[in-house]
Chain A
């Protein structure tokens, strides 16, 4: 008799993983992580809508006078971040086709644009003209954009690791999972920024 029990009896270390899912375990991990992140952003957006809509003392204009959001600079920053998603996609498609120079160029551009976005956001904070003690709207603004900025920082760390590994000759058309997962995360960060920018700056 050859049963799972007998196999397990001779197995050392942690129990054998139950192969029940149709999704690759690493992709499943990334999905669960993104689901938790969506809930985290959801809680921040709840605060935003409360401050702006549900609150009886909500300001009639957003942001309340005399403050202004740097809509144009943030718009340029949005364009930079969206473009970085295109270069990320280009990089992954390139390594899938075995085009290493294009992959490295795509990853370098993605990293640099991500870095430019983060630095621009820091400069924006320094010149925005209000701080967290300026009212609930300011707390919401810094909370939402800061939370997103923290995610960009994490994304940049992942992209930096991919970049270093890429220049050291890692990844191939057969093995590019290490590029795929940071790519998923980077697009998620981009999606969240579209929501943040639309809700906070434009609407």
Chain B
């Protein structure tokens, strides 16, 4: 539900509703104190009902202006823990080879609800910044120039923020596999497809499988540093 004080016009409407509501309560109270109380309860229930109904409504689909030159394709990459994943790097590599592509990487600063409420977000932002810097260095090492930023902890808000400054043609969202991904459980990818008038590519990065593969590759050396089989 939007705040009744989000603008002067909204506040003015809220004032008129308040006058109407309290006029009803006062008139009912003059008839009977219990009737006044009943009207008060009824209006409160109605207000809660309107609040719940409005909260369920989805925001309208957002049109994104295509401001890039005709031969340039802008890709917004949204990832956090999976930002350095092989699958994501592969997808970025394929997009880079397809033509003149500009990348902007956003790492939402994931944080716990309690820490968010208490504004304790420094550690989360630092961790996200570290992951972002590592990824940008990796991309730069293979000749892909990209910009990046740490975004809001809500990935949809982070996407919205980035869209305002980057105006992408496509969004790539990287997540953990189903069952391990908090973003998938919250329906971030489907919500992004509904909310933004852009192509949304979903890349699944399995960091555990990646770690296992790397472990098995280096296993003989790890098992015996002296080089024995």
On chain B, the residues within 8 Å of A180 by CB distance are 7-8
CB-nearest residue of chain A relative to B19? Answer: A194
- A21-65, CB under 8 A of B: which get 1 and which 0? 111000100110010000000000000000000000000000000
Bound Cα distance from A194 to B8, whole angstroms: 18
CA distance A92 to B10 in the complex (A): 13
Tell me if A126 is interfacial: C-beta within 8 Å of chain B: no
Determine if A20 and B161 form an interchain contact, defined as CB atoms under 8 angstroms apart.
yes
User: How many residues on A have C-beta within 8 angstroms of the other chain's C-beta atoms?
Assistant: 33
Q: Is the CB of B8 within 8 A of A195?
A: no
Partner of B147, one of A2, A89, A191: A2
- How many B residues have CB within 8 A of the partner chain? 39
A23 CB contacts on chain B under 8 angstroms: 6
- Partner-contacting stretch, out of B41-49, B87-95, B150-158, B183-191: B150-158
* Residue B175 is within 8 A (CB to CB) of chain A in the complex: no
Chain B residues positioned under 8 Å from A27 (CB to CB)? 6-7
Cβ 8 A contact of B152, one of A5, A18, A203 = A18
Within 126-149 of A, Cβ neighbours of B (below 8 Å) are at none
Query: Which residues of chain B are near A118, meaning CB under 8 Å?
Result: none
Top 5 nearest A-B pairs (CB, nearest first) are A20-B152, A183-B8, A187-B11, A4-B149, A198-B22
Binding site for A on B (CB under 8 A): 3, 5-9, 11-12, 14-15, 18-19, 22, 25-26, 29, 36, 129, 132-133, 136-137, 139-140, 145-154, 157-158, 160-161, 164
